[in-house]
């Protein structure tokens, strides 16, 4: 996997070690003070959190958010012995989330200048930049809009880096009363808190789902629905489990029917395999995902941008060499129970790979038989030159926000972060045309209405020139039949879900 982006956990782990106060002979030890650390404290499944909260207080912790719905407390403490001291009746497990932030996968944005404002016609193809939106005809958005642009009763949660509420293509599209920040695992509903600060990733995602047909800029897939900003990416560009957990619960408790998750909490390499102490963190996130599904939310997630075979992680990683005596990392049971990439691999989540303009898998898109459910346009800026150079207009055009100049605009990005929202937008259209589907029914409907795509033969790699020293860097091999590792059930189709 060399040269492939996975993530940078090191920066998130840069927390200084606790420094206990020096003890001097004969004196009672002063309470040791460590770094201010966030913990997730899990009550037994289905149990009240009261007893756990009492233990938290006794162990010198502060509950900053209580998710009674799933029996999880978000706690801060400077007590270096907190994790040990909090254990007892009413506490099933506890773990610090230090070092478990995943970096948001940012791609270069190329700003484009908006064409002149046209008249709002109600026709998506008359939007000034529609000609650059090759992704929209590809999934038959204009044909879908002849039937419906979506229902304002459908609210899509964009769990991401915030949405610019001043953007001319988005200002009318945001459910402000359902938007929040979840940074730190704690909600903050002030408008400034859920606007973008250091990343416009969420603004781009939101535009793909629901940019207005207003004679300005671009069209989204479902401009008739509403998007809610649920900010889970902190200013350092990291998604911490407590923020993701908060986001799932918020969406579930505020009537959202679909969430988009263009991020990738990836515990597998560093955590689950080597460290069972961190398992409670992933169990807490999985409880949150299950809870949201029980409340009628379909969660859509990106597969990731590592050209990684998510179905064959064991063989790809080589032999671990730093395990405690007697611990066997190759036990599949451990992986499936505790080491899923979240939310992409959680049961019931729709997992989306990416294709470029030709419909072939994007060079970067992760894949996996039984993991990918559907595919959608995410852009591929490299296929045209065999990887030697970028063709930026082969990315996805959507709404942007320049965080340095605080300016709204439009621009290209590529990634499974861009394909996910295409599936999300189609899901929102489906629910608009056919209200009342459960998350399971909606996921099955999305797959059934997708257009199947066959596997390419042999080793697939359209970009051997990206790194001339390693022409096989982006090799990938597809497996499966009508439903396969690259494309799942096929390309989502906006018209098929509304006709």
Sites of contact with Ca ion (CB under 5 A): 127, 169, 212, 214, 216-217, 349, 351, 373
**Nearest distance, CB of residue 474 and Ca ion, angstroms:** 24
> Which CB atom, from 83 or from 139, has the smaller least distance to Ca ion?
139
> Which CB atom, from 185 or from 207, has the smaller least distance to Ca ion?
207
Closest CA to 378 of 360, 404, 399: 360
**Nearest distance, CB of residue 14 and Ca ion, angstroms:** 33
> Which CB atom, from 122 or from 320, has the smaller least distance to Ca ion?
122
Give the C-alpha separation, 342 to 381, whole Å: 27
**Nearest distance, CB of residue 346 and Ca ion, angstroms:** 8
Burial pattern 115-135, b for ≥16 Cβ within 10 A else e, equals: eeeeeeeeebeebbbbebbbb
DSSP character for 257?
S
> Which CB atom, from 202 or from 237, has the smaller least distance to Ca ion?
202
Find out whether 200 and 208 touch, Cβ atoms under 8 Å.
no
> Which CB atom, from 96 or from 489, has the smaller least distance to Ca ion?
489
**Nearest distance, CB of residue 372 and Ca ion, angstroms:** 8
Length of the chain in terms of residues written: 499
Closest CA to 233 of 263, 192, 188: 263
CA separation (Å) from 457 to 282, 308, 336, 461?
37, 18, 29, 11
> Which CB atom, from 157 or from 217, has the smaller least distance to Ca ion?
217
Secondary structure of residue 43 in the 3-state scheme: coil
Give the C-alpha separation, 327 to 249, whole Å: 35
**Nearest distance, CB of residue 269 and Ca ion, angstroms:** 20
> Which CB atom, from 169 or from 341, has the smaller least distance to Ca ion?
169
For the chain, how many helices (H) and strands (E)? 13, 18
Q: Report CA torsion sign: 86, 91, 92, 94.
A: negative
**Nearest distance, CB of residue 397 and Ca ion, angstroms:** 11
Find out whether 141 and 498 touch, Cβ atoms under 8 Å.
no
**Nearest distance, CB of residue 213 and Ca ion, angstroms:** 6
**Nearest distance, CB of residue 13 and Ca ion, angstroms:** 29
Site of tokens 């992704």:
135
Closest CA to 303 of 202, 378, 250: 378
> Which CB atom, from 340 or from 349, has the smaller least distance to Ca ion?
349
């Amino acid at each position: 996997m060399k040269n492939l982006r996975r993530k940078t956990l090191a920066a998130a782990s840069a927390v200084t070690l606790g420094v206990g106060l020096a003890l001097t002979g004969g004196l009672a030890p002063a309470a040791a003070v460590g770094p201010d650390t966030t913990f997730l404290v899990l009550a037994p499944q289905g149990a009240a959190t009261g007893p756990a909260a009492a233990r938290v207080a006794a162990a010198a912790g502060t509950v900053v958010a209580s998710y009674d719905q799933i029996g999880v407390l978000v706690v801060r403490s400077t007590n270096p012995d907190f994790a040990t001291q909090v254990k007892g009746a009413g506490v099933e497990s506890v773990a610090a989330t230090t070092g478990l932030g995943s970096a948001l996968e940012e791609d270069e944005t190329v700003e484009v200048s908006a064409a002149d404002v046209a008249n709002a016609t109600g026709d998506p193809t008359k939007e000034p930049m529609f000609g650059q939106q090759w992704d929209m005809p590809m999934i038959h958005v204009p044909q879908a809009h002849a039937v419906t642009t979506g229902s304002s009763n459908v609210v899509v949660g964009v769990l991401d880096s915030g949405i610019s509420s001043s953007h001319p293509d988005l200002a009318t599209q945001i459910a402000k009363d359902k938007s929040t920040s979840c940074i730190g695992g704690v909600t903050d509903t002030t408008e400034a808190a859920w606007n973008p600060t250091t990343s416009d990733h969420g603004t781009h995602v939101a535009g793909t789902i629901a940019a207005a047909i207003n004679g300005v800029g671009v069209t989204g897939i479902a401009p008739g629905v509403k998007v809610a900003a649920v900010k889970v990416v902190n200013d350092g560009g990291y998604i911490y489990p407590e923020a993701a957990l908060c986001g799932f619960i918020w969406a579930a408790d505020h009537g959202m029917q679909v969430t988009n998750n263009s991020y990738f909490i990836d515990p597998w390499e560093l955590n689950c395999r080597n460290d069972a102490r961190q398992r409670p963190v992933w169990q807490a996130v999985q409880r949150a995902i299950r809870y949201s599904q029980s409340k009628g939310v379909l969660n859509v997630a990106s597969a990731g941008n590592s050209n990684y075979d998510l179905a064959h992680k064991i063989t790809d990683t080589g032999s671990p060499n730093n395990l405690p005596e007697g611990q066997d990392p190759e036990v599949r049971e451990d992986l499936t129970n505790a080491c899923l990439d979240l939310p992409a691999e959680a049961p019931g989540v729709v997992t989306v790979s990416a294709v470029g303009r030709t419909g072939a898998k994007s060079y970067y898109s992760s894949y996996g038989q039984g993991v990918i459910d559907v595919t959608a346009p995410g852009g591929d800026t490299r296929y045209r030159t065999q990887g030697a150079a970028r063709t930026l207009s082969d990315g996805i055009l959507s709404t942007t926000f320049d965080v340095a100049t605080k300016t709204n605009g439009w621009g290209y990005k590529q990634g499974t972060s861009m394909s996910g929202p295409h599936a999300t937008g189609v899901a929102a259209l489906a629910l608009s045309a056919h209200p009342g589907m459960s998350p399971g029914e909606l996921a099955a409907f999305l797959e059934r209405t997708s257009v199947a795509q066959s596997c390419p033969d042999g080793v697939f790699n359209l970009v051997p020139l990206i790194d001339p020293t390693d022409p096989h860097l982006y090799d990938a091999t597809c497996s499966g039949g009508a439903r396969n590792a690259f494309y799942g059930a096929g390309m989502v189709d906006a018209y098929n879900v509304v006709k």
